[in-house]
Amino acid sequence: MLTIAICDDEKKICDYIENRTTEFLAKNDLEAEVSVFYDGSELLKKCENNTQHFDIIFLDIKMKTLNGVECAKLLRDIGVNSLIVFITSSAEYVFSGYEVKAFRYILKTDLVNAFSRVFGECLLELKKLNTSFFTVKTSSSVKNIPLSDILYFESNKRLLNIHTKNEVLSFYEKLDNVENELKEKDFIRTHQSYLVNAQKIKSVSKDSVFLVNGFSLSVSKSKATKVKDAYLWSKR
């Protein structure tokens, strides 16, 4: 299910975007949870500490207490990677959007004509992004990890550990399920306990894989040939 935030200090604009969103979703047989905010600080508070993830944020620029550009900068600072679509009455801030990696920019005077097109572009971009990220959901947060950052998954009883270049994250899941989810993404099952990003393998021996960070992981005897073939294929 999509999660969408609308933030504008004009209620009529929020109502309009919410209604158009509902219409678009119904027409395309999609479901979403839509949250409305009338102040940038309310949106920021909701996103802090990864308590809420939004796929798309429609964000007004000219708001009284915290303007949209400042809000977007603060959101990026805390790791929010949502698609941000600026909604504003003036084009003077268009270049500010590049600083916060805004996805699109809609003038309020063109909102009626541009909304469906931009919403459709957001969905296409999300589809593309979702194939490049692994989403970790816990009881307190949702985090999207770029596949390119993942070194390997490690099964530890009921827990899975994701080893990335910067950290280790733990969550409850079966390694078999993750392997199935990533079967088209160059991840190799080297052992009952390990699922390894083939792009992070530096070399392979009969009983081990050696990663770019200097780690080595065991290779099961039954998987040795398959691991070597998959590794060589990934380097083509």
**Residue with the larger pLDDT of the pair 201 and 139:** 201
Same domain, 156 and 47: no
Same domain, 124 and 33: yes
pLDDT tens-digit readout, 24-77: 999 888 888 999 999 999 999 998 865 678 999 999 998 888 889 999 999 988
Q: Which residue has the tokens 């969550």?
A: 171
Same domain, 62 and 143: no
pLDDT band at 137 (very low <50, low <70, confident <90, very high): confident
pLDDT tens-digit readout, 206-219: 899 999 888 999 99
Specify the pairing of strand 56-60 against strand 83-88. Answer: parallel
Same domain, 228 and 118: no
**Residues forming a β-bridge with 146:** 133
Q: How many domains does the chain have?
A: 2
**CA distances from residue 20 to 13, 23, 90, 116, 186 in whole angstroms, order as listed:** 11, 5, 21, 8, 39
**Res 163 pLDDT > 90:** yes
The residue from 130, 154, 183 where one domain ends is: 130
Q: Torsion over CA of 118, 123, 124 and 129, rounded to 10 degrees? A: 120
| Sheet bearing 187-191, strands edge to edge | 168-172, 159-164, 150-156, 194-197, 187-191
Same domain, 105 and 69: yes
- For residues 203 and 27, give the distance between their C-alpha atoms in angstroms, rounded to a whole number: 50
Same domain, 27 and 125: yes
- For residues 104 and 79, give the distance between their C-alpha atoms in angstroms, rounded to a whole number: 19
- pLDDT on residue 78: 80
Same domain, 98 and 159: no
CATH code, domain with 144? 2.40.50.1020
- For residues 163 and 170, give the distance between their C-alpha atoms in angstroms, rounded to a whole number: 9
CATH code, domain with 70? 3.40.50.2300
Same domain, 162 and 119: no
Q: What one-letter code names the amino acid at 96?
A: S
Average pLDDT over residues 140-157: 85
- Residue 36 structural domain: 2-130
- For residues 144 and 60, give the distance between their C-alpha atoms in angstroms, rounded to a whole number: 25
The residue from 95, 130, 165 where one domain ends is: 130
Same domain, 125 and 139: no
Q: What one-letter code names the amino acid at 148?
A: S
The residue from 114, 130, 146 where one domain ends is: 130
